[in-house]
Amino acid sequence: MLEGEAGGFNADPDQTVADYLTTWLEAKALTLKPTTLVRYRDYVTHDLIPALGTLRLDDLGYRHIAGFARTQLNTGRGRVTLHRCLATLSSALGDAVRQRRLAHNPAKPSVLPRPPAAERTIWTPEEAARFLRHCHHADPLMADFVEVLIGTGMRKGEALGLHWADVHLDEQVLYVRYTLSAINNSRLVITTPKTRSSKNWVAISPRVATALTHQAPPGPAAPQPDDPLSGLVFSRPDGQPLRPQTLLDHFKRLAAQAKVPIITLHDLRHVAATVPITAGIPLLTVSKTLRHSTVSTTANIYSHLTRQAARDAVEAIDKALTKADTGHTGGIRRHWPPRPRPRPHRDHRNRPHHLWKRTYSPTITATSPAASRPQQATATTLRPPASATRKRPLSHL
């Protein structure tokens, strides 16, 4: 124990996995969002503790986690849900390593690789316009809500948590600082946005401004009480917030009535990204509009749309160079395919002596043509002996 404390370890060596995960959840309750904490608690309580809770934390190994994963898959557990459960365990064990409780994380590398994302169905501008035309007659509230989602690229929870105090129609901007979430599809809470960069200003287009005007309360806005669920832009007629799951179900029914592909409300954010990227808007501008943390996040999500942009970029470089080359030479110079380069000339005097095939003939007759023209004598006649060949460096080649 003394050696362990001197090295930074200060824990019960008989601590079980159940005890550690319970303590870990209590500490995480101070930093995690309520929705994330509920999901972690479900995985720990219903999956990890029943399967691995009796093991000593120091004895937990990769083979135990692999056996748990195989058992879950054999019982029909979904790969996506199981991957999230294993990610929760890896996060807990990673904290144990950072706190010097464990020497390594037995959950890394992950037993189950991250499942590939399902292929998304994204509306075309024509399909989005068809849905909006239908909703303006069937459900104006849904039409205005979808207009805001597509026109700003906001997430569903961000639009549901939008307050009138954060909307500035005169300046054509709104500020995202809250998100509405449902815990276990029952209790509604107001939390912070997904990332730090998500809390930012968003520009408002004329269509979005019109949709927000439709939802504006009549008369001047009353002072908001301390209740964070009051003063919302999108709410029920009694002023209560809209439930995300109920709104999603109603959205899918309206999509079926409008005869457009059935998608989710989050897919409207992808519509807000694909339309400007396809129109040639720079990726950096689209990333700032979506409030992604980095441009690489946008590029990874919409890599299938940036391929054409990459082709356009290289073609622009080719056209610029060709235009500059044409203006300089008066004509187009063809650089492709490349011209064959001539082989460098090798002086016969630099050949090694063992490669000489003919012997030196010192006799030159006066009647030979070479006698009158010594500078045009053949190499065979003027070839020096092998012993007289001077070795020269090949640097001049």
* CATH number assigned to the domain comprising residue 72: 1.10.150.130
Residues 55, 151 share a domain: no
Q: Does residue 61 lie in a domain region?
A: yes
Least confident of 173-187, 254-268, 320-334: 320-334
Residues 79, 129 share a domain: no
Select from 98, 116, 134 the last residue of a domain.
Answer: 98
Q: Is the pLDDT of residue 283 over 80?
A: yes
* Model pTM score: 0.70
Q: What is the DSSP letter of 374?
A: G
- Structure-model confidence comparison of residues 306 and 281, the more confident one: 281
pLDDT at 5: 63
pLDDT at 224: 59
Each residue of 73-132: pLDDT tens digit?
Answer: 999 999 999 999 999 999 999 999 998 889 999 999 988 888 887 777 889 999 999 999
Q: Does residue 147 lie in a domain region?
A: yes
Select from 275, 301, 327 the last residue of a domain.
Answer: 301
Q: Is the pLDDT of residue 205 over 60?
A: yes
Residues 169, 92 share a domain: no
Least confident of 85-94, 274-283, 312-321, 339-348: 339-348
Q: Is the pLDDT of residue 172 over 50?
A: yes
Report the mean per-residue pLDDT for the chain: 82
pLDDT at 300: 78
pLDDT at 230: 86
End-to-end Cα separation, the chain, in angstroms? 75
Residues 80, 38 share a domain: yes
- What is the number of other CB atoms lying within 10 angstroms of the CB of residue 107? 21
Each residue of 337-388: pLDDT tens digit?
Answer: 555 666 665 555 555 555 555 544 454 444 444 444 545 444 444 455 555 5
Alpha carbon distance 164, 216 (integer Å): 8
* Secondary structure (3-state) at 232: strand
pLDDT at 379: 45
* 3-state percent helix, strand, coil for the chain, nearest multiple of 5: 50, 5, 45
Residues 253, 167 share a domain: yes
The CATH number given to whatever domain includes residue 235 is 1.10.443.10
Domain count, the chain: 2
pLDDT at 310: 67
* Secondary structure (3-state) at 241: strand
**For residue 251, which amino acid is it?**
F
Q: Is the pLDDT of residue 43 over 60?
A: yes
Q: Is the pLDDT of residue 392 over 80?
A: no
Alpha carbon distance 219, 372 (integer Å): 118
**What phi and psi values does residue 174 have, to the nearest 5 degrees?**
-140, 160
- Residue 309 is encoded by which pair of tokens? 């942009």
Q: What are the strands, taking DSSP E only, across 119-214?
A: 167-168, 173-175, 179-183, 187-191, 201-203
Each residue of 148-160: pLDDT tens digit?
Answer: 999 999 999 999 9
Select from 266, 301, 336 the last residue of a domain.
Answer: 301
- Structure-model confidence comparison of residues 267 and 223, the more confident one: 267
Least confident of 14-18, 215-219, 237-241, 264-268: 215-219
Range of the domain at 249: 125-218+229-301
Among 248, 221, 219, residue whose Cα is nearest residue 232: 221
**What phi and psi values does residue 277 have, to the nearest 5 degrees?**
-65, -45
